[in-house]
Amino acid sequence: MLFNLNPKTRREDLYDRENELEEIFKALDLKERFIVIYGIRRVGKTSLLRVALREAKIPHAIIDVRKVYFEHRGVSRVHLYREIASYFTKNLDFFNRLGFRIKDLFRRLKGFHVSEIGVEVEPIMQIRFTDLLEKVNDWCERRDLRFALAFDEAQYLRFSGKVRYDGIFAWAIDNLPNITIIVTGSEVELLREFLKTNDPKAPLYGRYMREVYVNRFSRDQSIGFLKQGFRELGINPNIEEIEEAVEVFDGIVGWLTHYGYYRAMKAVNHRTALREVFEKGSQLELTELEKLIAPSRNRYLAILKAVAQGATSWSDIKTYVIVRTGYIDDKTFTQLLKNLVKYGYLVKENNRYKIPDPIVRYLVIEKL
């Protein structure tokens, strides 16, 4: 169903992302080695990734790097290996249908074991990530297979200590013809900064990549999404209510899905559904935002409040911050502003700043 709150895995549950799917399918068909998927929070990148790899019927593993980081306050190799093992365990039926012999693969990989309950990893494992990729590549080459390894929210790999994953990606692109690396990122500027593809001194400079952009829905797409979701459940919605929800949630698929879920699955009225999305959604956003702004909370919060209340220019925002928190020099203020853009809480268009997510705007105004 379109209003299922979990990431989608079936094409029929993914609304109007045919162009984005085709881009990924083309890259896989051409055996391209590096795919980058960009998009702000809650526009459906993870669902797109999962559906694409399932539909392509390609053996793969998806690592939720942000989950690893928030669970362990870092991203070690062992934690990544455990995510890979967990993904295989949860998707054994899928791999069996592909004829992908997991026991055969992991019998050749030091530190991985296949038991009756699934794939397990030794608590202490010394195998290098490059060795792991090389063994998977060799195994696939002997069977004329391709393997996709996807890092969801890959910008968090920068918390991996001494391991340089941009360097590992570059090495894989150059040396492993049977592996496609896929990375996604909702903190778009931060992902670009991590990959450094335009830096001549960085490992990934000059490497070809397929870039896929997942944009928020247009007004027509948003209306169509809600109408189809309600039709699936046999509900004939009020068009004025749909149009208001579309206006409020500004094309962000995740919040439209939450609205449809409360309206249809929880059977609450329109006003209650809107309120629930804002209340529950702001709770989801609060913890992560608080962690980001903690180093300079008052100033970060003043910047966000300025923008939420209508200030859009550098000078107007800075004036507001000075009034609220006291003097701040231009360099420090500009860096704080850039940080909020990197993390996706602000966007800069034509030298004007805005908060792209209506739930974050509500959180800043009403809760902080």
- Is residue 96's pLDDT more than 90? no
Within the chain, all domains assigned CATH 1.10.8 are found at 219-284
- What is the pLDDT, as a whole number, of residue 50? 96
- Where does the chain hold its CATH 3.40.50.300 domain(s)? 17-213
- Per DSSP, the three-state class of 64 is strand
pLDDT of 100 over the 90 cut: no
Its CATH class, for the domain covering 219-284, is mainly alpha
347 φ, ψ (degrees, to nearest 5): -125, 150
Poorest-pLDDT segment among 113-127, 148-162, 174-188, 313-327? 113-127
In the structure, what pLDDT confidence band is assigned to residue 124 with cuts at 50, 70 and 90?
A: low
What's the pLDDT score for residue 109? 79
pLDDT above 90 coverage of the chain, percent: 82
- Over residues 158-183, mean pLDDT: 95
> What confidence tens digit (pLDDT) does each residue in 38-75 have?
999 999 999 999 999 999 999 999 999 999 998 998 99
Contact between 65 and 75 under an 8 Å Cβ cutoff? The reply is yes
C-alpha dihedral over 223, 229, 230, 233, to 10 degrees? Answer: 170
Q: In the prediction, which pLDDT does 123 show?
A: 66
Mean pLDDT of 169-198: 94
Helix or strand (DSSP H, E) at 36:
strand 34-38
pTM of structure: 0.92
φ/ψ of residue 25, rounded to 5: -60, -40
> Taking the domain 17-213, which CATH number applies?
3.40.50.300
Give me the numbers of helices (H) and strands (E) for the chain, helices first please.
Answer: 17, 9
Q: Where in the chain is the domain with CATH 1.10.10.10?
A: 288-367
Is pLDDT at 113 greater than 70 in this prediction? Answer: yes
Q: Are 85 and 120 in contact (CB under 8 A)?
A: yes
Of 367, 307, 362, the C-alpha closest to 337 is: 307
Tokens standing for 31?
Answer: 């055996």
Q: Report the chain's terminal Cα–Cα distance, integer Å.
A: 34
pLDDT category at 259 given cuts 50, 70, 90 is very high
Give the CATH number of domain 288-367; options: 2.60.40.10, 1.10.10.10, 3.40.50.620, 1.10.340.30: 1.10.10.10
The rounded mean pLDDT for the chain is 93
Q: Is the pLDDT at 125 greater than 70, yes or no?
A: no
Write out the DSSP string of 313-348. SHHHHHHHHHHHH----HHHHHHHHHHHHHTTS-EE
